[in-house]
């Protein structure tokens, strides 16, 4: 009986679960990193590849931000890219994203696309080599 439910309902449920997960990840990232930011204009290779002194808490937090950036960037593109979000709670998160990810390409342009995001990711990965 459970498997006989219309496939569209399963799809809607999967979409809802994915959206909730993305919002939880983004909200958690912005709540845990109070004073740590990631400057994409001066992103060092040790943050990208994780080769730094593991006792350096600031760099560990920067590395976490870098690893969460992919999810955060896609969320930002969905909710914040076209300007001010009418939902005050989301606009607060949009502002936190702009502060945490200084110079990130999605924060500098309102016409940033998925291809641009992928290209930028490839560029910074190749930069470290």
Look at the alpha carbons of 16, 97, 108, 127 in this order and tell me if their dihedral is positive or negative.
negative
Position 82 scores a pLDDT of 78
pLDDT in tens, 21-50: 555 555 555 555 557 888 888 888 888 889
Both tokens assigned to 107: 């924060």
Residue 65 in contact with residue 39, Cβ under 8 Å?
no
Q: Quick one: pLDDT band at residue 103, thresholds 50, 70, 90?
A: confident
pLDDT at 53: 93
Residue 94: Cβ-neighbour burial (10 angstroms; 0-12, 13-18, 19+): buried
3-state secondary structure of 65: helix
Determine the Cα–Cα distance for residues 2 and 11; give it in Å rounded to an integer: 14
pLDDT for residue 55: 93
Domain ranges of the chain: 8-127
The DSSP symbol for 44 reads -
Alpha-helix runs per DSSP H in the chain: 7-32, 45-49, 57-79, 88-100, 105-108, 114-127
């Amino acid at each position: 009986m459970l498997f006989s439910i219309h496939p569209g309902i399963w799809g809607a449920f999967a979409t809802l679960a994915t959206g909730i997960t993305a919002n939880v990840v983004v909200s958690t990232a912005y709540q845990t990193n109070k004073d740590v930011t990631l400057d994409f204009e001066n992103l060092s290779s040790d943050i990208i590849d994780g080769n730094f002194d593991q006792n350096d808490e600031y760099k560990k937090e920067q590395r976490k931000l870098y690893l969460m950036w992919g999810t955060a960037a896609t969320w930002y593109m969905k909710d914040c890219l076209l300007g001010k979000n009418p939902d005050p709670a989301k606009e607060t998160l949009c502002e936190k994203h702009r502060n945490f990810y200084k110079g990130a390409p999605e924060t500098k342009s309102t016409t940033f696309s998925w291809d641009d995001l992928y290209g930028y990711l490839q560029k910074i990965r190749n930069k470290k080599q």
